[in-house]
Amino acid sequence: MPVGTLGAVKGVDVGRLKETGAEMVLANTYHLALRPGDETVAALGGLHSFMGWPGPILTDSGGFQVFSLADRAEVSEQGVRFRSHIDGAEVELTPERSIAIQENLRSDLAMVFDHVVELPNAPDAVAEATWRSVRWAERCRRAATRDDQMLLAIVQGGLDVPLRRQCAKELVAMDFAGYAVGGLSVGEPPAEMYRVLEATVPELPADRPRYLMGVGRPQDLLEAIGRGIDLFDCVMPTRNGRNALAFTDQGPIRLRNAIHRHDRRPLEENCPCPACQHSRGYLRHLFQVREMLGPVLTSIHNLTYYQRLLAEAREAIVQDRFSAFRTEKLRRWRDPDSSAGE
């Protein structure tokens, strides 16, 4: 899912976004509640009408902001009090308020409010946040009133495998429409994330969406798919695109590097995106002169690349060759020269 925090994927209009192959987008509960306000979005017809996006929309709960705005947040059993990053005003977010905001936004999938902590962290702090997340999930389930909005629970537990499994079992017993693995990619090494996924995903129902939140690099997507994950979101395609880094099957291309100055090749020969109608030399020029088209085109390329990668992964699964597909992609990213001439 491309990330449209404030109701827009940065620099990419809805028409271009659909052309990348995106089918679902993510928007942010906390940020939209501050600006323009969930009541305003509701008055304008809900997020689909507000954004002009015809496909499914998932809204996160504001739980990640408990982590990312920790220096502005005070957590209690009732919920979280934030100092707005905009004007310093006090903002209270509880499980009930998070659900009410998401129902006003009229997203198709809504996340329970959870308590995310930095990793690594003290075992007691991780356990406290995990069980608070379970209690908050139950409060969210009771608060939900819309029968046209899927509610997804979030498994927490840090890097503690037994705690992750216990949390998953408690949430599965509550019978949510889908399940996410949260609280990863917040400072731990990738190998630790994979270890946690291997232990956690088998505890989640295979007939419901299994979502890894906030991940990630192309290699992380394939490693997670191999461990049973279905759904992802991450700002990496657009954030890196705005900073002159393009993802390709031969690894990342840093467009500001002088080596690309006279390079007539596109980012990728087989890519249908508008960026690949131009040369690497031209794209580098756009960044060098700070022309806004550079970040826009490279963001679109990266979004297209991620959608193509996952489409290829789905096809490989259907053909029962995902393991070989993953191995080959990882080999190319690790040793880009090995694919020269192919």
Just list the catalytic residues. 60, 233
Rounded to whole angstroms, the Cα distance separating 77 from 60 reads 20
User: Which residues does 207 contact at the CB level (< 8 Å), separation at least 6?
Assistant: none
Rounded to whole angstroms, the Cα distance separating 201 from 199 reads 6
Q: What are phi and psi of 8, to 5 degrees?
A: -155, 140
Using DSSP bridges, classify how beta strands 109-111 and 150-155 pair: parallel, antiparallel or unpaired. parallel
Rounded to whole angstroms, the Cα distance separating 341 from 321 reads 23
User: Any alpha helices (H) in 90-189, and if so which ranges?
Assistant: 95-105, 123-143, 161-173
User: Any alpha helices (H) in 154-206, and if so which ranges?
Assistant: 161-173, 190-200
H or E segment to which residue 47 belongs: helix 46-51
Within 223-308, strands assigned E span 231-232, 245-246, 253-254
* Contacts of the segment 122-126: beta carbons below 8 A, 24+ positions apart: 123/158, 123/160, 126/156, 126/157, 126/158, 126/159, 126/160, 126/163
- Say how many residues make up the chain: 342
User: Which residues does 288 contact at the CB level (< 8 Å), separation at least 6?
Assistant: 256
Q: Which of 236, 241, 235 is nearest to 300 (CA)?
A: 241
DSSP letter (8 states) at residue 320: T
